[in-house]
Amino acid sequence: METRLRFALLLTSFFVVWVYGATPIPNKQLLGIDPQDLSFYKSNVIKCKDGSKKFAKELLNDEFCDCPDGTDEPGTSACPEGKFYCQNAGHTPIKIFSSRVNDGVCDCCDGSDEYNSNANCTNTCWEAGKVAREKLKKKIETFKEGLIIRKEEVEKANKAYAKDEADLAKLKSDEKVLKELVQKLREQKERIDKLEEEERLKKEKEEKSLREEEEKSKEQEIKADETQNFDTMDNHEQDGSTGNLDIAVESGNDNMVESKKASTQTAEQHVGEGHDDTLESSDGISQDGEISSYEVPKQDQDDSGSTEELSREELGRLVASRWTSEGADQTTDKIGNVEEDLMDQDSSVAHEHKGYTSETDDDREKDDDDDDNFEDDRDDEFEDDHSSSDASYIADEYEKPDPLDSIEVSSPTWLDKIQQTVQSVLQAFNFFKTPVNVSDATHIRKEYDDTSSKLSKMQSRISSLTEKLKRDFGKEKEFYFFYDQCFESKQNKYVYKICPFKQASQDEGYSNTRLGSWDNFEESYRVMVFNNGEKCWNGPDRSLKVRLRCGLKNEISDVDEPSRCEYTALMSTPALCLEDKLKELEKKLEQMNTRKPQGHHDEL
């Protein structure tokens, strides 16, 4: 013990002397001092670093705490706030808490912290250092490579950003033109509407008088006429019977369109429902039976004071569920059946969903491909890629209407074309001809619809671009391309989808749980924060923090939920491969290399 201690002391002082060639201070007193601090301890009366006191050199490392900040006991455990410096030759020097000194646990890889304890520490610095150096080297490589990618990306981002700004300006001016066109068309259209209305009223009057004289069979003919004449209204008039024609006429055009929509929807739902039914019956569970099985717990809840109607097991689950959120779902689980039914239902709904939204799925897959080929894409047609396909993917996935859909901002001629078309249509229409030329009227209406829909698309494009350009893309806009991208990571049964600047979700099959909406960057662009996700039972709203680190690809990993409904994830991205950090790492490696304990490492 005694000899080992002396040896350790000798060795420590040897290194210190060897590296810094300082004037020797008694060995024991040197313990735990950072070589950079040695000069501080040279004088015979030493100040506590916090300025609280002075102490004589003999009191340095004398196992009695004189300075509350630990200045006088760098090498012992006497001061709770002290720090012990381990040389760790062959590895990285570290400072450990004084509480670790001689506590029987080897904390320094050179074992220097256990100079007076029963612990038998072997020097593992060289082996550990080797591994650490290799790791560091690799990290540096990544940083170097990442830095190049980052530079390119920043350049592209800035270009794209500038282009967005230019586009926005152009869009805004185009919008003006288009607005005027729409205005003109609307005026025309309204005039036509008015004309037609007059004609129709006139005709109606005639019909009315006719009808008074004619029999029922004749009415059929009139109707046929109407149908011919009022092409655009056929849908509605077929719906209505002759008896309530008046009412139908009074309700305006807008309503008609709506009711048409609604009826289509009903039809679609109906189809879906039929699908659902088949699924169920194949499971052999009748719908009625299912519903009644829900009703029992429901009634129970209505009568919240009483749990007497519950089966023993339900009661057990109900009580358990107070402590657990999971249990709450299980409570509705009537001996397992209900839960299964729920699953069935979910899947049937999901099927139904798939039935008429296959487009979305296709797009999703497309995007997956994009992600996979991200690196390659970036190298050639990076810009194009992101201004089209990714954007459309987002349009389908989330509520934001696709701003780019059919408007090719880059094409200079589209607006001219529209202008020409509108002009020609307007000119072609003859207002003085009665009855109104049906085909001309249709033309005007169509042109009005088309153009105003183009305008609204353009406006939404403008607002989304404005929205986009408001975002903070980082100091060098290094996160610009994150705007139109989503990143996914599959962990067990969940797929985590993170769309920076937008939102993040946890998907399981077809059920999505919103983990949060974009909040901001934190810790100077090292963390992406998504807040206000779906509320947790008896818990907080879900949230997600994505910690960014340097990597060659944009990749999500290690999604975790350290606290209930508070998610964390790691994401590697070239955007975080920063030059300063690289220099720091290189310096660290250099230091590790220069501290090679030439041949001494195996002596301990």
Partner 1 sequence: MAPLTPLLLRYLVVILIPLFLFSSSASAWKKDEFRNCNQTPFCKCARTRTPHSLPRLIVSDLLISDGHLTAHLQPSLSSEDDVSAGDTPHPRPLVLRLSVYQDGILRLKIDEDYSAPSAPSKQRFEVPDVVLPDFEDRRLWLPRVSSTEDGSISSLYLSDGFEVVLRHDPFEIQVRRKRSNDPIISLNSHGLFEFEQLREKKEGEDWEERFRGHTDTRPHGPQSISFDVSFHGAEFVYGIPEHASTSLALRATRGPGVDHSEPYRLFNLDVFEYLHDSPFGLYGSIPFMLSHGLKGSAGFFWLNAAEMQIDVLAPGWDDSAAAGNDRIDTFWMSEAGIVDTFFFVGPGPKDVLQQYASVTGTLAMPQEFAIAYHQCRWNYRDEEDVATVDAGFDEHDIPYDVLWLDIEHTDGKRYFTWDRVLFPNPEEMQKKLAAKGRHMVTIVDPHIKRDDSYYVHKEATDKGYYVKDATGKDFDGWCWSGSSSYPDTLNPEVREWWAEKFSLKNYGGSTPSLYIWNDMNEPSVFNGPEISMPRDALHFGGVEHRELHNVYGLYFHMATADGLLKRGNGKDRPFVLSRAFFAGSQRHGAIWTGDNSADWDQLRSSVPMILTLGLTGISFSGADVGGFFGNPEPELLVRWYQLAAYYPFFRAHAHHDTKRREPWLFGERRTALIREAIHIRYSLLPYYYSLFRKASISGIPIMRPLWLEFPEDKKTFDNSEAFMIGEGILVQGIYEEGQKSVSVYLPGEQSWYNMRNGAAYSGGQTHKLEVFEDSIPSFQKAGSIVPRKYRFRRSTTQMANDPYTLVIALNSSLAAEGELYIDDGKSYDFEQGAYIHRRFVFSNGKLTSSTIHSASLREKKFSSSCTVERIILLGLPSGAKKAVIEPGNHETEIEPGPLTLRGGASSVALVIRKPNVRIADDWTIKVL
Site for partner 1 in 12-31 (CB under 8 A): none
Torsion of CA 442, 443, 444, 449, to 10 degrees: 90
Which of 329, 440, 450, 476 contacts partner 1 by CB under 8 A?
329
Nearer to partner 1, 322 or 490 (CB): 322
Nearer to partner 1, 420 or 563 (CB): 563
547 forms part of the interface with partner 1 (CB under 8 A) = no
Q: Token pair of 450, please?
A: 């088309």
Amino acid at 60: L
On whether the CB atoms of residues 356 and 265 are closer than 8 A, the answer is: no
Beta-bridged to residue 569, according to DSSP, are: 546
Which of 147, 177, 245, 315 contacts partner 1 by CB under 8 A?
315
Contacts of 73 (CB under 8 A, 6+ apart): 60, 61, 62, 63, 64, 65, 66, 67, 79, 82, 98
420 forms part of the interface with partner 1 (CB under 8 A) = no
Place of tokens 């696709």: 402
Tell me, residue by residue from 357 to 376, as one string, x for binding to partner 1 by CB under 8 A and - for no binding: --------------------
Which of 43, 183, 209, 266 contacts partner 1 by CB under 8 A?
266
**Least Å from the CB of residue 82 to partner 1:** 9
Distance CA 179, CA 448 (A): 11
322 forms part of the interface with partner 1 (CB under 8 A) = yes
Which of 4, 34, 47, 81 contacts partner 1 by CB under 8 A?
81
356 forms part of the interface with partner 1 (CB under 8 A) = no
210 forms part of the interface with partner 1 (CB under 8 A) = no
Which of 269, 434, 453, 591 contacts partner 1 by CB under 8 A?
269
414 forms part of the interface with partner 1 (CB under 8 A) = no
Nearer to partner 1, 1 or 21 (CB): 1
For residue 46, give the nearest of 31, 67, 76 by alpha carbon. 67
Rounded (5°) CA angle 449-190-455: 30
Beta-bridged to residue 182, according to DSSP, are: none
Q: Give the phi and the psi of residue 47 in degrees, each rounded to 5.
A: -90, 145
516 forms part of the interface with partner 1 (CB under 8 A) = no
325 forms part of the interface with partner 1 (CB under 8 A) = yes
On whether the CB atoms of residues 349 and 269 are closer than 8 A, the answer is: no
On whether the CB atoms of residues 477 and 187 are closer than 8 A, the answer is: no
Contacts of 346 (CB under 8 A, 6+ apart): 509, 510, 511
**Least Å from the CB of residue 257 to partner 1:** 19
216 forms part of the interface with partner 1 (CB under 8 A) = no
Q: If you write DSSP's letter for every residue of 377-424 in order, what string do you get?
A: HHHSSHHHHHHTHHHHHHHHHSSSPPSSSS--TT-SSHHHHHHHHHHH
Distance CA 125, CA 15 (A): 14
Tell me, residue by residue from 555 to 594, as one string, x for binding to partner 1 by CB under 8 A and - for no binding: -------xxx-x----------------------------
For residue 139, give the nearest of 599, 471, 577, 590 by alpha carbon. 577
Which of 20, 64, 431, 510 contacts partner 1 by CB under 8 A?
64
**Least Å from the CB of residue 39 to partner 1:** 23
Among 72-80, 372-380, 407-415, 434-442, the segment contacting partner 1 (CB under 8 A): 72-80
508 forms part of the interface with partner 1 (CB under 8 A) = no
Query: Which stretches of the chain bind partner 1, using CB under 8 A?
Result: 50, 52, 62-65, 68-69, 77-81, 97, 99-100, 103-105, 266, 269-270, 273-274, 276, 287, 290-291, 294-295, 297-298, 301-302, 304-310, 312-325, 328-329, 331-332, 342, 345, 536-540, 562-564, 566
